[in-house]
Amino acid sequence: MKNDSYFMAQAIVEAQKSLNEGGIPIGAVLVVDGEVVGRGHNRLLQAESAILHGEMDCIESAGRLQGADYQKSALYTTLSPCTMCSGAIMLYNIHRVVIGENTTLIGPEELLRE
What are the residue numbers of the active site? 55
State the SS3 of the chain: CCCHHHHHHHHHHHHHHHHHCCCCCCEEEEEECCEEEEEEECCCCCCCCCCCCHHHHHHHHHCCCCHHHHHCEEEEECCCCCHHHHHHHHHCCCCEEEECCCCCCCCCHHHHHC
